[in-house]
Every structure is written in structure tokens, then in C-alpha cells.
Structure 1
Amino acid sequence: MLVTTFLMILIMLLVWRCHWILVLIFTGLSLLVELTYFSAVLFKVDQGGWVPLVIAAAFLVIMYVWHYGTVKRYEFEMHSKVSMGWILGLGPSLGLVRVPGIGFVYTELASGVPRIFSHFITNLPAIHSVVVFVCVKYLPVYTVPQEERFLVKRIGPKNFHMFRCVARYGYKDLHKKHDDFEKMLFDSLFVFVRLESMMEGCSDSEEYSIYGQQTEKSVDFLLTDIGNTVSSNEEPPISLTDCIVPVKSPLRANSVVRTSGQASSQTEVDELEFLKSCRDAGVVHILGNTVVRASRNSQFLKKIAVDYIYAFLRRICRENSVIFNVPHESLLNVGQIFYV
């Protein structure tokens, strides 16, 4: 109860931005009740008061172990991500055979290329013609509007056919079973191609300014959550010119593109047809499965916490494949082991 109260105070200050007087009133009333209950438990430890203390300690250990393992796993992915210089050096074919189809690579990184991708292409001789890095972010807001949920960015030149898509959710957004995550992602990708052609063909038009304002607002929203600095040899951070927010009316964007010039319109049509043909050829969802293990010279308690408690919590938690209703027949797990 005390931990819940302290977390609630942080939410009221950082997320809801409540007045400090309201925060003080809530804190005083909550601590009055909880400290009274806590003192009563302490005075009756020998009469059974130790039971809620043991339960509270067990939940505290579980939360701490889960937080520790999650942070270590994320730090490993951050420090081991592949630089964009290495990807660009491979060329449009990435040094492999590009087979028809689209590969969705799920990662927790909003910038850079995850290590599972290099691990995948190192051990397999082929990769899909279109690669989309999908990052799911939960923002400290109540909900994210449907039309602002996906941020799409191109990685490398157009002939690489590589994209990044950041799916943003609020803490009250529910994943319903009838929601087709794959279809929504494809719609956002198609709208991105249309808007990109529009900006290349009429960068000084009024429509560009309208879309630019919407994009800049959403990009600032995302950068506040990410807060990652990127070195010079890695993928540049998301900017106004390469990150597009899907708008409510894709048809309007398409009509604007038609007026922007024959060359850009033809390029848009060719790429849209290429994306549709790759989608019809097949879609594969590639998920990274980073297994955290304690190193051999770790202490006994650390081995118990990481190898057993955290591993058990990871097994019972739902994966993204279940949350976003990814078909089992098109799912591919790429495993790697990380020692802490």
C-alpha cells in the first residue's frame, strides 16, 4: 500500500500535473490510513501480524527482480545495437538474397538496429525484400488517438526498402481481439509513402505546412518519451523531415500527391505496388527473445533471482505475439543469451 501511494504521488505530479495542495491532501490522508494499519501490524507480529509483512516482502522482491532484469535486458540491447554505418555498408541487398515478402522485426529500441537483426542475417542466407522495425512504446498519457498511434520513418535509401514504425499506446489503451495490428501498420506504411512523395514534390505548399505541424507535435511527443542520444555512426534521431504521422484522410494526401508532379507520383505508385506485392507474398513477424542469465561468478542470491525468479516471470508474461494477435504460423523467434 505504501508503494502504491508513492507511485500515485509520482503520477499526480508528473502525468496528471495536479496542484501541489491536492497532492499534499492525498498524501496526508493516505499516509494516515496506511501508517495506522502498518503500526498495528508491527505491534501484533507475534499474534499473526508477520503474515502481511511476509506477503509485502514477497511482492517487493518480485517487483525488484522484474525491474532489475528488465533494465539489464534493455541496457544490453542498447549497448549492442548495430550502427547504421554497418547496415549501409552492406548495400541494398544487405549482403544477402532479398526474397519476396515483408519482415516485421519487433524491438524495444526506437533508434538504431537491434542486435537480433544482425544475428538473424548472419546465420540465415536471405532476408525479406521489405524490412520494418516495429517498436511498441507505452507513453505516460491516458490514451493515444488512433490517427496518431503510428510513427513511420524510412531507414537508408529507398532501394533498401527498410522502415521503422513506432506504435504508441497510453496506459489505458486496451488491445482488443478484433483489432488487426498488422492491417493498421500496413495502412500507416502506405500513408507514409504517399506523404513522403507529397513532401518531395511540393515542399513549399500549404498542405506540407499543415502536415508538418502535425508531425512536429507528435515527434516532440515521442522524443520526450525516448530521450536517447545517438552517436554519429548510428541512425540519426527522428526529425520532422523523415518521420510522418498518419493522418485521418489518406485519400486527401493521395490527391495532393497527384498534383505535385508526374515523377514523384510515378515513384509513389511504383513503391506502393512493390509493397503490396511483398505483402501478398507473405508477412513474417520476427521477435527477439533475449534470455538473461547470471554469470558464473555471480553470488548465490543473484543466480536465484535472475535464473529462476526472473525467468519464471518472463515465461508467465504475455508476449507481443499474443497481445497483437500475431498468427502462429508466421511467427519467428530469434533467441540470444545475455549474462549479467
Structure 2
Amino acid sequence: MYELENKVATEKLTDITSDERIHRAQGIGLFYTQLVHGISPILTHYVSSVSSRHSVVVFVSIKSLPIGKVSPEERFLFERVKPKEMIFRCIVRHGYKDSRKEQETFEEMLVNQLKEFVRNEDGEEMQREVTLIDHAQRDGVVYLMGKSLVMAKDGSKLVKKLTIDCLYNWLIKQNFGEFLSNNIGRKFLV
């Protein structure tokens, strides 16, 4: 609910991208969020705390699908958040039978698919942007994530509270922890 109620407005994103006081750090910043639409407030929290943003920003949402396998070329769905800016949204899709231990690392797959997305866009800036993504990857990828918690509504029955507040959150934590250790295992800021 916090992410939904505090989504960043387009005007605020414009302020962040045009503010010369905000340092442009080299590298790629992967902001993990549950939001599929809108900009997570984790960006404004990060920028206000660090007074910096990465040269390439990707908002990543991980979604499990009720199908066995998702082909590698359909795993990453990208969209540009703001025209002429290196800010993207990526939905990472996994099926229930997909191996979480691919030959190529998660980071490599994501960046390669991002470059492919940029190549397929119309515009003369495409090659410059692909080069910028290559340089940003060499400079390093930083994983930024907030902590979300699902809670039963006030007044819910005890069984529902125990199921959601305890069991569900524990299962999410176990599954997300497994995903992180199998696919990423590098740098994290929370």
C-alpha cells in the first residue's frame, strides 16, 4: 500500500532528472519494487538520502507466472519510463518450472536484454545509449531494494492474520531470499 499511495509523480521525476545538484553516479542502479506501473518512492528516498542517481536506472519487478517456463527472450519486459532519459522499467517473469540457476547471470541477461530493447527503439540516439549502458555496466551494478510487508486488515479473524502476517510473509521472504542467492548475490542497499 505504501508504494501505491506514494508513487512518484511524473513532475517529481522530471525535477529529479533535471536537478543539477543531484550527482550522476556512474553505473546501473537496479531499484526493486512491487509496482508494475508508476515510479516507486524508493527512488526519491534514495536521491534525498544520497543526493545522487545512477547514469542508468532500472525499476525491476519480479513476477511469477502460472505457467511452467518462460522463454529467455520473453523473460524481461522493458519500457522507457521517461523519454530521452536512461530510466527504464523491467518486469522479470519466471514460470514455476524455470531454473533459477541459468548459465548467464541475472545481471548479464538483464543488461543484454536492456541493450536489445534500446536497439529496437526508433531514434538516432540508439547506438550512443547502448554504449552508455555498456560503460555503466563496467562501472558496476548496484541493487537497491526496500522491504515490503503484507498485513491482514484490522479486524480480520485470527486464522487470517496468522496466515497472512506470519506464514505468507515468511514464504515470500524464503522465496525472495532464494532468488537473490541464486541469481544475484552481489551488492545490495536496503
TM-score, normalized by length of structure 1? 0.48
Matched, 1:136 2:62: yes
Q: 2:22 aligns with which of 96, 102, 105?
A: 96
Measured against aligned partners, the alpha-carbon deviations of 1:78-109 in whole angstroms (never above 9, x if no partner) come to 23322223212333358511111110111121
Shift of 1:170: 2.1
Partner of 2:89: 164
Q: Considering fraction of residues, name the structure with more helix.
A: 1
1:298, 1:99 → 2: CA distance?
46
Calculate percent identity across the aligned residue pairs: 33
Higher relative contact order (CA 8 A, sep 6+): 2
Q: Considering fraction of residues, name the structure with more strand.
A: 2
Aligned length: 187
Partner of 2:74: 148
2:91, 2:57 → 1: CA distance?
14
Distance 1:274 1:294, change over 3 A: same
Partner of 2:188: 331
Measured against aligned partners, the alpha-carbon deviations of 1:188-225 in whole angstroms (never above 9, x if no partner) come to 111111111xx34xxxxxxxxxxxxxxxxxxxxxxxxx
Unaligned runs of 5+ in 1: 1-74, 201-263, 334-340
2:92, 2:171 → 1: CA distance?
25
Partner of 2:101: 176
Please tell me the residue identity of whatever aligns with 2:34: E
Counterpart of 1:290 in 2: which secondary structure?
coil
TM-score, normalized by length of structure 2? 0.81
Partner of 1:85: 11
1:194, 1:312 → 2: CA distance?
40
Counterpart of 2:129 in 1: which secondary structure?
helix
Measured against aligned partners, the alpha-carbon deviations of 1:270-310 in whole angstroms (never above 9, x if no partner) come to 22221111111111011221245789x979959x7376656
Shift of 1:156: 1.0
Instruction: Give the stretch that moved more between structures: 176-185 or 90-99.
Output: 90-99
Contact 1:87 1:94 in 2 (8 A): no
Aligned-CA RMSD value: 2.9
Matched, 1:122 2:44: no
Structure number with bigger Rg: 1
